[in-house]
Amino acid sequence: MKIIDMHCHIGKDIDVEVTCRGLIKIMNKYKVDMAVISPLGKGLIHEFKQFNQQIVQCVGENEGRLIGFCSANPWFENAVAELEKRIVKDKCKGLVLHPAKQGFHISSPLIYPLIEECQSLEIPIYFHTGTSTYDLPLDLSLLAAKFPKTIMIMGQMGTSDYWMDVEPAAKLASNLMVETSVNPNIALIQKLVKNIGAERIAFGSGFPFTDLEYEIKKIELCNFSDREQELIMFQNASHLLGVR
Amino acid sequence: MIIDVHVHSGQWLNASGAEVKTLIAKMDASGIDVSIVNSPKALTEQNPSGGNKEVFEIVCQYPDRFMGMAAVNPYHGEIAEKELNKCLSHYEFKGLKLHPWIQGYPAHSEITYALLDICEGYNVPVLFHSGTPPYAQVMQIAYLAHKYPRVKFILGHMGLTYQWRQAIEAAKIYDNVFLDTSGITYPFAITKAINEAGVHKVLFGTDNPFLDPQLEILKIKNLHLKSDQWEAIMYKNAEKLFLKG
């Protein structure tokens, strides 16, 4: 079965680090066909242009294996221009926003210009979710309902603590997709498949913060049908990102 | 030998898998010898005795596989104190579980003090859910550890994704603060806990049945620990804490 990992990074953060080559090596080890890569650490904050460039370069060096998601800090005036350049010229497939690290509340009008740009470019937005105050799943549903034409990905399923809000958020906004990394809750993923459908769930690992083997095993232990497993591990991401 | 310090039994909300046979099957499948089990129902239900009695019955039925941990609701006041005393004396339970965000009080609230006094008297540890603002913050529990230096506190889930750093700091500062590995999915944070707080401060836990023991063990195996570190985390620290005081 083919695998697309919707949530990986390259670069260096305070506690973890991985190179482009290091990521490919671990993808090979665990038979991950393609991975979405996005900036981390400073690359989400003031050095997003430099980190985006690294992403584009890494994707270019590994054609067919990696998919770039750029970031742009909404506090910076050049954010929209940077987004447009990375999508149109450099063929990134989506935008990553991390409210807690970039310092804005997920329903703040500060990010409307970026979201409007994503809407006109017809690209999805990946949001880290689950940090108290900044990026709660239900608050994301409010934003998603305001911009119904844009697919928004609820990264890390609300992380550990907000598991109880994931399904209600998905029910409030049909343009929300759920990405499975970091949150260890198998029962939650099973419940989501049953109640919102496997079509709205995409596998992600959160590597290098997490253990890729653990994250893949987590989905295996859900005992889904082959069809559900294929949707989650590959087809939903393939369809969303236009890759195969 | 593997001892799991963070396990639940009995039906609670819509969770499945907490029946004793399922718990044992999962323990067997992942090589866990002993589970220290508490009742989530006893945290919140009106009747303070039902959940703990269920745990007692499981321990009596399978004394080689389970040890009991009490759970009470601090809002029940003297009734909770009486129940805790019964659990620690008559049932010979090995500790107390508190879950401040589910139970609805800040972890360092004064309503927990009488219960902590009882745990101090019996020299048993207290397992707190930790890492969830606003009621189960790591530093709220660290404050209790500061105030009750003779009570041992286990930070369940070692502060989870967003408070593991504070959890490691608290375990470094306070001799009486320990960390359990359940639920956290950042391997580097567990390694950091071992290196910085000391391997003697880290206890293996799964949060079975809410989380899968196979995954929780895989996570520790993939840390590639030395055999003495593995033994400390997987059972020796728990033996010291729960069986030898």
What CA–CA distances, in Å, run from B122 to B63, B149, B180, B245?
Answer: 21, 14, 21, 9
Q: What is the pTM of this model?
A: 0.92
Cβ within 8 Å of residue A152, ≥6 positions away: A124, A125, A127, A140, A143, A144, A173, A175, A176, A177
φ, ψ at B70 (rounded to 5°): -75, 155
- Nearest-Cα distance to chain B for A206, in Å, is 9
3-class SS string, B134-175: CCECHHHHHHHHHHCCCCCEEEEHHHHHHHHHHHHHHHHHCC
Q: Which residue of A has its CA nearest to B133?
A: A132
**Crossing angle of helices A163-172/A186-195, nearest 10°?**
20
Percentage of residues of chain B with pLDDT beyond 70: 98
In chain A, the domains with their CATH numbers are 4-241 (3.20.20.140)
Evaluate whether A200 touches A236 at the Cβ level (below 8 Å). Answer: yes
Tell me the β-bridge partners of B36.
B67
Any B CB within 8 A of A161 CB? yes
Question: Of A151, A96, A108, which Cα lies nearest the Cα of A133?
Answer: A108
> What's residue B13's pLDDT?
61
Exposure class string for A158-175: b at 16+ Cβ within 10 A, else e: bbbbbbebbbebbeebeb
Q: How big is chain A by its Cα radius of gyration, in Å?
A: 16
Q: Which of A130, A156, A184 sits opposite B183 (nearest CB)?
A: A184
**Per-residue model confidence (pLDDT) at position A220:** 97
Average pLDDT over residues B157-173: 97
Instruction: Write the DSSP string, B45-74.
Output: -SSSSHHHHHHHHHHHH-TTTEEE-EE--G
Instruction: Average the pLDDT over B165-177 and give the result.
Output: 97
Cis peptide upstream of residue B209 (ω within 30 degrees of 0) = yes
Per the CB < 8 Å rule, is B186 touching A209?
Answer: yes
Among the partner residues A15, A185, A187, nearest to B188 by beta-carbon distance: A15
Q: Cβ distance A170 to A190 under 8 Å?
A: no
Contact between A132 and B15 using a beta-carbon 8 Å cutoff: no
In this prediction, residues B186-198 reach a mean pLDDT of 98
Nearest CA in chain B to A131: B162
A213 CA: distance to closest CA in chain B (Å): 9
Residue among B215, B217, B219, B224 with most chain A CBs within 10 A, to mutate? B215
**Closest residue to A214, CB basis, from B131, B162, B185:** B185
Q: How far apart are the first and last CA of chain A?
A: 13
Select from A174, A61, A71, A53 the least CA-distant residue to A118: A71
Judging contacts by C-beta atoms under 8 Å, the chain A residues touching residue B161 are: 130, 156, 159-161, 182
Checking if the pLDDT of B71 tops 90, the result is yes
Q: First CA to last CA across chain B, in angstroms?
A: 20
**Tokens found for residue A206:** 């959160």
CA dist B130 and B139 (Å) reads 9
Q: What is the pLDDT of residues B88-130, one digit of tens each?
A: 999 999 999 999 999 999 999 999 999 999 999 999 999 999 9
Q: B232: burial class by Cβ within 10 Å (0-12, 13-18, 19+)?
A: buried
Q: Are B159 and B182 in contact (CB under 8 A)?
A: no
Please check whether residue A67 is in contact with residue A32, taking contact to mean a CB–CB distance below 8 angstroms: no
Domains of chain B by residue range:
3-243
Q: In the predicted model, is pLDDT for residue B178 greater than 80?
A: yes
pLDDT in tens, B137-146: 999 999 999 9
- The pLDDT score that the predictor gives to residue B48 is 80
Judging contacts by C-beta atoms under 8 Å, the chain A residues touching residue B183 are 160, 184
- A181 within 8 A of B158, measured Cβ to Cβ: no
Q: Using one digit for the tens of pLDDT, what is the confidence trace for A112-171? A: 999 999 999 999 999 999 998 899 999 999 999 999 999 999 999 999 889 999 999 999
pLDDT at residue B18 in the model: 78
Superfamily per CATH, domain B3-243: Metal-dependent hydrolases (3.20.20.140)
If contacts are CB pairs under 8 Å, which of residues 181-240 in chain B contact chain A? 183-189, 192, 210-212, 214-216, 218-219, 222
Q: What is the pLDDT of residue A161?
A: 84
**Nearest C-alpha neighbor of B189 from the set A177, A15, A4:** A15
For chain A, how long is the longest CA-to-CA vector? 47
CB neighbourhood size of A210 (10 A): 25
Residues of A in contact with B222 (CB under 8 A): 211, 213-214
Q: pLDDT tens digits for chain A (244 residues)?
A: 999 999 999 999 999 999 999 999 999 999 999 999 999 999 999 999 999 999 999 999 999 999 999 999 999 999 999 999 999 999 999 999 999 999 999 989 999 999 999 999 999 999 999 998 899 999 999 999 999 999 999 999 999 889 999 999 999 999 999 999 999 999 999 999 999 999 999 999 999 999 999 999 999 999 999 999 999 999 999 999 999 8
Q: Report the complex ipTM.
A: 0.87
Predicted local confidence at residue A160, as pLDDT = 82
Average pLDDT for chain A: 97
DSSP A80-149: HHHHHHHHHTT---EEEE-HHHHT--TT-GGGHHHHHHHHHHT--EEEE---TTT--HHHHHHHHHHSTT
Closest CA to B38 of B160, B148, B124: B124
Res. B245: pLDDT tops 80? no
| Tokens representing residue A85 in the block | 């350049």
pLDDT digits (tens, 9 = 90+) for B9-51: 987 765 677 789 999 999 999 999 999 999 999 999 888 889 9
pLDDT digits (tens, 9 = 90+) for B220-233: 999 999 999 999 99
Closest to B160 (Cβ–Cβ): which among A160, A213, A217?
A160
B189: part of which helix (H) or strand (E)? helix B187-196
